Amino acid sequence: MSTDNCLFCKILEGEIPAELIYESDTAVAFRDINPQAPIHALVIPRKHISTINDIDVDDEAIIGSLYSAARHIAAEEGIADEGYRAVMNCNEGAGQSVFHIHLHVLGGRRLDWPPG
DSSP state of 37: S
Which of Zn ion, ligand 5GP, none does residue 6 bind to, with CB < 5 to 8 Å depending on kind?
A: Zn ion
Near ligand 5GP by CB under 6 A: residue from 33, 56, 71, 83: 33
Contact (Cβ atoms closer than 8 angstroms) between residue 101 and residue 50: yes
Short-list 35, 64, 100, 84, CA closest to 76: 84
Q: Say whether residue 53 binds ligand 5GP (CB under 6 A).
A: no
Q: Say whether residue 98 binds ligand 5GP (CB under 6 A).
A: yes
3-state secondary structure of 80: coil
Near ligand 5GP by CB under 6 A: residue from 26, 89, 105, 107: 89
